[in-house]
Amino acid sequence: MRVDIYRRTEPKGLFSYLAVPEGKRIPEEAINTDWQPEAQRVEVDEAADALPLYPIESPLAQIVAKGYAITALKDQAD
């Protein structure tokens, strides 16, 4: 599966990442923040537990469950 990646700035210079299936819009429940395009057509290994360049755990499971995958809040801790 290929996804498009978006990024938003968090406090303390950190970033959150959002992955949506290639060519799809960001779902309404996630659109209320300022996501900036980061990468397009990123290939996701279906057996992967995470995206290698972005701190998104279980990307395919998240996409199946809610239509997108996002960085977990715990990954934003110091």
Q: Is 52 or 37 the better-scoring residue by pLDDT?
A: 37
DSSP run (H or E) holding 62: helix 59-66
Rg (alpha carbons) of the chain, rounded to whole number = 12
Q: pTM here? A: 0.85
Q: What are φ and ψ of residue 42, in 5° steps? A: -80, 125
- What average pLDDT score do residues 33-55 get? 88
- State how far the alpha carbon of 33 is from the alpha carbons of 44, 48, 50, 52, 61, in Å: 24, 27, 23, 24, 23
Contact 62, 27 (CB under 8 A): no
